[in-house]
Amino acid sequence: SECLGGSCKKGVEDNVIAEKLIGEDFENVENNAVEPVHHRAAPSQSRHHVSSISRTYQTSALRRWKPAPTVMPVGKRPGEHGKPVHIPSEKEAEMKEKFKLNQFNLLASDMISLNRSLSDVRLEGCKYKKYPTLLPTTSIVIVFHNEAWSTLLRTVWSVINRSPRPLLKEIILVDDASERDHLGRKLEEYVKTLPVRVFVLRTEKRSGLIRARLLGAKHVTGQVITFLDAHCECTEGWLEPLLARIVQDRKTVVCPIIDVISDETFEYITASDMTWGGFNWKLNFRWYRVPQREMDRRGGDRTAPLRTPTMAGGLFSIDKDYFYELGSYDEGMDIWGGENLEMSFRVWMCGGQLEIATCSHVGHVFRKSTPYSFPGGTSRIVNHNNRRLAEVWLDQWKEFYYNINPGARNVEVGDVKARRDLREKLQCKNFRWYLENVYPESQMPLEYFYLGDIRNVASRNCLDTMGRKSGENLGMTYCHNLGGNQVFAYTKRQQIMSDDNCLDASNKRGPVKLVRCHGMGGNQAWVYDEQDKTIKHVNTGSCLQKPDPHDVNLPLLRPCNFDESQQWIMDSDFKW
Ligand code: UD2
Ligand code: MN
C-alpha cells in the first residue's frame, strides 16, 4: 500500500517539507526570550517550581531528577551523531532485499549501534530552560507488529540513555502478534539484561495498534503514559519538557517535535519547530506551517509550547488518569489510522489541550509505505476508523469527508453509541467550537453556503479537479454524481474549494487553477449570483464559462455575457 495520509513526513505540504529537509535558519532565535542560565535553583525559584504544579499532583508523588547523562557509545560504528549510513555498492542487492521486510533500510539500521550518539538538536533557548525540579514518573509504551530488532532496541536504548532515571518507571513493549523469531523468547531474554525495568506483553491475535496500546496502558504503573512508535530515537532532554507541561496542567497532552530518521540512510534530520498538525477533507493527517497568530500567542518564543489542532499520533505523553477520564481510545478502531485525529478532537473539544513541546525532539523513521498487512484491506480499515471518528466528532462537517470520499459511506462503521455517550458525558463542545477556537485555518470551512458539484447549464457537465495538484488547471467533465473530484464548497469567504485547494485566477482570461487556499480573498474570491447563476471572479470581473469544443476539459474565464455557457447550478443543500 502507498503512503497513507500524512504518516509519511515526505508526503507533507511541499513548502513545509522542503524546509524540513534543508534545515531551517535559526538566526533570529537568539532574540527570542532565551532564559538566562541558572546554575543552582535559588530558593525563590524552587518555590516557583512547586507552585507551578497542578493541584491534582501531590508533590510527594513527584520525583526529584537530574538531567540524564548522555551515554556515548564506545567504538566507531556508522551513523554516529545521527550521520547517514552509506551502503557499499557490492551490498546493494542485499540492501534492496532487506528493505522489503520493514520498508526501511534494514541493512543500514543493523550497521548502526543500538545506542548510537545523536547531536543535541534543540534550539539554544531550550538547553538552559528550567523545568520543575519535581516531575511525575512515566512509563513508556511501545507497540509493534513485526518490527526489526535494531530499530526496536535502538528505540529502547535511546529511552534508557536519555531519560532521567528517577522519572522512568518502566518500558512496556507490546507485541501485536508478530511473526518474527527475534521478537519471541530472544526479546524476552534480552530485556531482562537491561538496566531499566522492561517487559514484553503480547496480544493474543493481531489487534492493531489502538488495542495494543490499550493493553500496554493497562500495565502502566507510572503517573504519565508516554507512547512511542517502535522505530524512534529520543534525543537529549526529550522527556523533561513533556512531563513539565503535564505537571503544570494535567489536561495537557504533549507531543515532541517528530524529527525524521531517513528510511534510506538512517540520517537524523531535524524537523522544523514551525509546523503543526492539521487534516484535510479526506481526514488525512497533514503537517502545515504554524500561523502567525500562534507565534504571537507565544510572544514569538519558539521554545514555548505550541498549541496544535491535531497530532500525528505515535509519540505523546498523557497523564494516566486523564487518559482514562477522557475515554482512552476507541476500541472499535482496527489496525492503523484515525485514532490520532479522534484523540485530537476529543482532547480539545472535551476540555483539554494538545501541544507540541518544541524543546522535545524524538526521531521517527517515516516510511513511504506500510510493511505489514491490513487484514480486510487498507482502505476498508482506514475508512472504518475514519467513519467512526467522523460520526462521533465532526457533526455536519462529516459531509466533507463523505463527499470527497464517497466510498466510505458503504464501509461498515460498527456501533458508535458508546463513543457518542462519552461525548455527552464529558459535556464536550461541538465541532463548530473547535473550528472557531482551535483551528480557524482548517481546510474544513467554518461557514459555507454550499457543498456539492457545480454544473454548467449549457453543457450539463461538472467542474472536476481531475485529481490534480496545487498549481494545475481546473478541469471539467460529465457529471458522475459521486462526489470525489467533483465536490466543491462555496464558502462565506467567497472561496470555491476542493479539499485544501481553491479556484484561483490571476488573469482576466484565465486559466482557472487549483491553488492551495490562502484565505485572503484576492485571486481566490468568487461571487455566485443565485439569480443569474454566474460565478464571477471578483478581482477581474470575469465570469466562469464552460470549455470551448476544441478543449472540452478546460473551463474558461471570459467577460460576462449572461449566456447559458456562463450559468452554473449549485443548488442542492443551499443554505444562505
Ligand atoms: C502514524 C503514527 C502512528 C499512528 C498512525 C495512525 C507517528 C510517528 N506515527 O503512523 O503511531 O498514530 O499514524 O494510526 O506519529 N502497529 C501494531 N499493530 C498493527 C499496526 C501497527 O502494533 O497492526 C505498530 C507499528 O509496529 C508501529 C506503530 O504501531 O510501532 C505505528 O505504526 P506505523 O509506524 O506503521 O505508523 P506510522 O508511523 O505510519
Ligand atoms: Mn511509525
pLDDT tens sequence across 441-451: 999 999 999 99
Residue 73 has pLDDT above 80, yes or no: no
pLDDT at 371: 95
pLDDT at 240: 98
pLDDT at 349: 98
Mutate-to-test residue for ligand 1 from 143, 159, 209, highest number of ligand atoms within 8 A of CB: 209
CB-defined site of ligand 1, < 6 Å: 7, 143-145, 147, 176, 206, 208-209, 212, 229-230, 258, 312-315, 335-337, 339-340, 364, 370, 372
Q: What is the pTM for the complete model shown?
A: 0.91
* Rounded mean pLDDT, 540-563: 96
Residue 34 has pLDDT above 90, yes or no: no
- The mean-pLDDT minimum among 151-155, 379-383, 518-522, 571-575 falls in 571-575
pLDDT at 76: 82
pLDDT at 50: 52
Mutate-to-test residue for ligand 1 from 7, 159, 205, highest number of ligand atoms within 8 A of CB: 7
Protein residue with its CA nearest to atom 5 in ligand 1: 337
Protein residue with its CA nearest to atom 26 in ligand 1: 144
pLDDT at 453: 96
Confidence of residue 58 (pLDDT cuts 50, 70, 90): confident
Atom of ligand 1 nearest to the CA of 230: 30
Atom of ligand 1 nearest to the CA of 142: 30
Atom of ligand 1 nearest to the CA of 371: 35
Residue 125 has pLDDT above 90, yes or no: yes
pLDDT at 575: 47
Strand ranges across the sheet with 496-498: 448-452, 488-491, 496-498, 501-504, 513-516
Residue 101 has pLDDT above 80, yes or no: yes
Residue 113's closest CA among 160, 64, 80, 66? 80
Residue 188: which H helix or E strand, with range? Answer: helix 185-192
Atom of ligand 1 nearest to the CA of 313: 12
Residue-wise pLDDT for 216-262, tens only, equals 999 999 999 999 999 999 999 999 999 999 999 999 999 999 999 99
Q: Which residue has the cell 487534516?
A: 279
User: How far is it, in rounded angstroms, from Cα 354 to Cα 318?
Assistant: 10
Residue 280 has pLDDT above 60, yes or no: yes
* Rounded mean pLDDT, 174-202: 98
* Rounded mean pLDDT, 117-130: 95
Q: Where are the alpha helices (DSSP H) in 78-176?
A: 92-102, 106-111, 124-127, 149-162
Q: Find the ligand nearest to 370 CA.
A: 1
Residue 338, all three cell numbers: 484515525
Residue 48 has pLDDT above 50, yes or no: no
pLDDT at 60: 87
User: How far is it, in rounded angstroms, from Cα 232 to Cα 113?
Assistant: 14
Residue 13 has pLDDT above 80, yes or no: no
* Rounded mean pLDDT, 355-374: 97
In DSSP notation, 390-442 reads HHHH-GGGHHHHHHH-GGGGGS-----HHHHHHHHHTT---HHHIIIII-TT-
Protein residue with its CA nearest to atom 22 in ligand 1: 144
Confidence of residue 36 (pLDDT cuts 50, 70, 90): very low
Residue 75 has pLDDT above 70, yes or no: no
Distance 219 CA to ligand 2 centre (A): 22
Residue 31 has pLDDT above 50, yes or no: no
Distance 260 CA to ligand 1 centre (A): 15
Residue-wise pLDDT for 313-353, tens only, equals 999 999 999 999 999 999 999 999 999 999 999 999 999 99
Residue 9 has pLDDT above 70, yes or no: no
Q: What Rg, from alpha-carbon coordinates, does the chain have?
A: 26
Residue-wise pLDDT for 462-497, tens only, equals 999 999 999 999 999 999 999 999 999 999 999 999
In whole numbers, what is the pLDDT of the chain averaged over residues? 90
Residue 452 has pLDDT above 70, yes or no: yes
* Rounded mean pLDDT, 357-382: 96
Q: Are the beta carbons of 149 and 231 closer than 8 angstroms?
A: no
Compute how many other C-beta atoms are within 10 angstroms of the C-beta atom of residue 573.
Answer: 11
Residue-wise pLDDT for 192-229, tens only, equals 999 999 999 999 899 999 999 999 999 999 999 999 99
pLDDT at 53: 80
Residue 543 CA: distances (Å) to CA of 451, 485, 555: 20, 22, 10
Q: Which residue has the higher pLDDT, 55 or 520?
A: 520
Residue 15, all three cell numbers: 513548502
Distance 337 CA to ligand 1 centre (A): 8
* Rounded mean pLDDT, 530-554: 95
Mutate-to-test residue for ligand 1 from 229, 286, 383, highest number of ligand atoms within 8 A of CB: 229
ipTM of the prediction? 0.99
Mutate-to-test residue for ligand 1 from 227, 336, 382, 385, highest number of ligand atoms within 8 A of CB: 336
Burial category of 39 from C-beta neighbours within 10 Å (exposed 0-12, middle 13-18, buried 19 and up): exposed
Protein residue with its CA nearest to atom 10 in ligand 1: 7
User: How far is it, in rounded angstroms, from Cα 340 to Cα 6?
Assistant: 11
pLDDT at 8: 54
Chain centroid to Cα 370, Å, comes to 16
pLDDT at 11: 39
Q: Which residue has the higher pLDDT, 403 or 60?
A: 403
Confidence of residue 51 (pLDDT cuts 50, 70, 90): low
* Rounded mean pLDDT, 185-196: 97
